[in-house]
Amino acid sequence: MVKKRRRLPYEEPVMKDKQNAPVGGLAGQRLRSRIAKSTGIGRRAESQALIEQATGFLAEKRHLSIADAREVLAHDADTRGITMHEAATRVLNGED
């Protein structure tokens, strides 16, 4: 006879069904936290890639070094009161 082990308080079922089920308990909190962190990391990486593309574009267009092109982009963002991401978007859309 197999002895059934006792369920611990944090061992709630993670999902009630396979679609749109709320995730509960400690496992649900951890899952929501990991999803939020990974989403934020993805957004930051996309933003950084956009800034690097704009920096490269400015460096090539204005015959600048990468460091100087990044300074131009940062100065543009600072004078306009916008983020580097927004300034990079403006540069790549030809709005500079």
For 35-80, how does the pLDDT look when each residue is reduced to its tens digit (9 = 90+)? 777 777 777 788 888 899 999 999 999 999 999 999 999 999 999 9
pLDDT band for position 19 (50/70/90)? very low
Domain boundaries, the chain: 27-92
pTM of this structure: 0.59
CATH architecture of 27-92: Orthogonal Bundle (1.10)
CA distance 76 to 57: 15
Length of the chain: 96
